[in-house]
């Protein structure tokens, strides 16, 4: 999982290179492992009737959250939602959660209760049961490790690796909201004498954006729909930012892509925020991770069927581009129709 809060330590470790090395050196798999390291979740067979889907995330105080600004319940909600989102990206159904905690000496049982209240609030709509974990003391802040277990019918899992040249590129929901919400939270409280434009953001828009950051929705139903009807050829959840996560799909699928910047689905609140702060809303959408929307690809022959069904089911999906041959790389199509290489700006730890 990615985070917007970085470590200041200058370390030679590069997160994605590290993962690739681990995958190559230690990622050998037996025949029951359908997918190991390298996707949103691992997939293993568990009998003929279902595949199990497993994902885990580690959150560290000071790296992923700051207790001076974040509430324990929100931290818990986001931790569970991020893992649920990885399960959604596989097209799977979440079932069980395991939580391991390292608690600093200053931690209180009230904080732990709040944390779990938030986590269970994210899990409850999906009937996910807490079934275990581990607890330790910590001499350096909180550590929260969340593991989610889910299931998917055999051969229905969605991978990052299935995109083909000519497929259409789609996203669910709206993107950029979470980063706008984070930026709002990081702004100093508005004073009477406000900067020009600040007043343009209504309390409703403000609440919406902050809510999208603190309590993101994992697109479980959308993922299940895409997998059960075999609509998507590949999928990933947007946790590192649209441009970075698109790169993951392209690398795993050995393809290129064209992203239509004018087509990105932006919420009215995000547009209003960007206008008020003189920011480019498209930049918010491209670089803002943690929207936890799904980015997926679809064969053009399924386009009409998918769009019609999405309308009936009230799933918001937007076509934002297409898959191209690998040699074209990843291109951004501007408002004038011209293309240029898409800047890749995903968050990496240790950088």
Which residues are at the interface with Mg ion (CB under 5 A)? 40, 86, 237, 239
Whether the CB-CB separation of 340 and 6 falls below 8 Å is answered with no
The residue whose Cβ lies closest to Mg ion is 40
Asked if 291 is part of the footprint of ligand ADP (rule: CB under 6 A), the reply reads: no
Asked if 39 is part of the footprint of ligand ADP (rule: CB under 6 A), the reply reads: yes
Least Å from the CB of residue 187 to ligand ADP: 27
Q: Which one of Mg ion, ligand ADP, none is in contact with 275 (Cβ closer than 5 to 8 A by kind)?
A: none
Q: How far apart are CA 330 and CA 108, in angstroms?
A: 48
Coil, helix or strand for 345? coil
Which range binds ligand ADP by CB under 6 A, 34-42, 207-215, 227-235, 333-341? Answer: 34-42
Closest CB to ligand ADP among 2 and 285? 2
Asked if 239 is part of the footprint of ligand ADP (rule: CB under 6 A), the reply reads: yes
CA distances, 225 to each of 92, 123, 130, 158, 306 (Å) = 10, 19, 25, 11, 10
Which of 6, 21, 22, 24: binder of ligand ADP (CB under 6 A)? 22
Least Å from the CB of residue 209 to Mg ion: 22
In the range 177-206, which residues lie near ligand ADP by CB under 6 A? none
Cβ–Cβ contacts within 10 Å for residue 165, how many? 15
CA distances, 229 to each of 47, 94, 157, 158 (Å) = 22, 18, 11, 11
* Torsion-angle region of 251 (φ positive above 0: left; ψ -120 to 50: alpha; else: beta): alpha
How are beta strands 93-104 and 129-138 bridged, if at all?
parallel
The DSSP letter of residue 231 is: -
Which range binds ligand ADP by CB under 6 A, 37-45, 136-144, 194-202, 316-324? Answer: 37-45
In the range 72-111, which residues lie near ligand ADP by CB under 6 A? 86
CA distances, 18 to each of 1, 64, 156 (Å) = 14, 19, 29
Least Å from the CB of residue 263 to ligand ADP: 24
Q: Which residues bind ligand ADP (CB under 6 A)?
A: 1-2, 19, 22, 37-40, 57, 86, 239
């Amino acid at each position: 999982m990615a985070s917007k809060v970085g470590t200041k330590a200058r370390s030679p470790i590069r997160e994605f290179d590290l993962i690739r090395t681990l995958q190559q050196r230690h990622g050998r798999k037996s025949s029951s492992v359908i997918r190991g390291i390298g996707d949103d979740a691992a997939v293993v067979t568990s009998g003929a009737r279902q595949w199990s889907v497993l994902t885990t995330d580690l959150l560290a105080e000071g790296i992923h959250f700051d207790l001076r600004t974040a509430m324990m319940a929100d931290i818990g909600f986001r931790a569970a939602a991020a893992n649920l989102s990885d399960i959604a990206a596989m097209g799977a159904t979440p079932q069980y959660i395991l939580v391991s905690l390292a608690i600093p000496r200053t931690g209180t049982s009230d904080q732990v209760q709040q944390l779990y209240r938030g986590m269970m609030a994210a899990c409850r709509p999906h009937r996910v049961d807490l079934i275990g974990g581990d607890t330790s003391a910590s001499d350096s802040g909180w550590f929260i490790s969340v593991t989610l277990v889910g299931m998917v019918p055999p051969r229905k899992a969605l991978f990052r690796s299935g995109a083909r040249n000519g497929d259409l590129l789609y996203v669910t929901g709206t993107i950029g909201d979470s980063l706008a919400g984070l930026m709002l939270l990081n702004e100093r409280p508005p004073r009477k004498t406000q900067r020009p434009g600040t007043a343009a953001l209504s309390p409703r828009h403000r609440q919406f954006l902050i809510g999208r950051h603190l309590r993101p929705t994992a697109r479980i139903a959308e993922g299940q729909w895409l997998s059960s009807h075999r609509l998507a050829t590949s999928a990933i959840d947007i946790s590192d930012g649209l441009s970075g996560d698109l790169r993951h799909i392209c690398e795993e699928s050995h393809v290129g892509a064209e992203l239509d910047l004018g087509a990105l689905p932006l919420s009215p609140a995000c547009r209003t925020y960007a206008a008020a702060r003189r920011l480019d809303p498209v930049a918010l959408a491209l670089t803002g991770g943690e929207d936890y929307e799904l980015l997926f690809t679809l064969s053009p022959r399924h386009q009409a069927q998918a769009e019609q069904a999405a309308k009936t089911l009230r799933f918001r999906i937007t076509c934002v581009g297409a898959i191209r041959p690998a040699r074209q790389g990843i291109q951004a199509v501007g408002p004038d129709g011209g293309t240029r290489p898409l800047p890749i700006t995903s968050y990496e730890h240790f950088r």
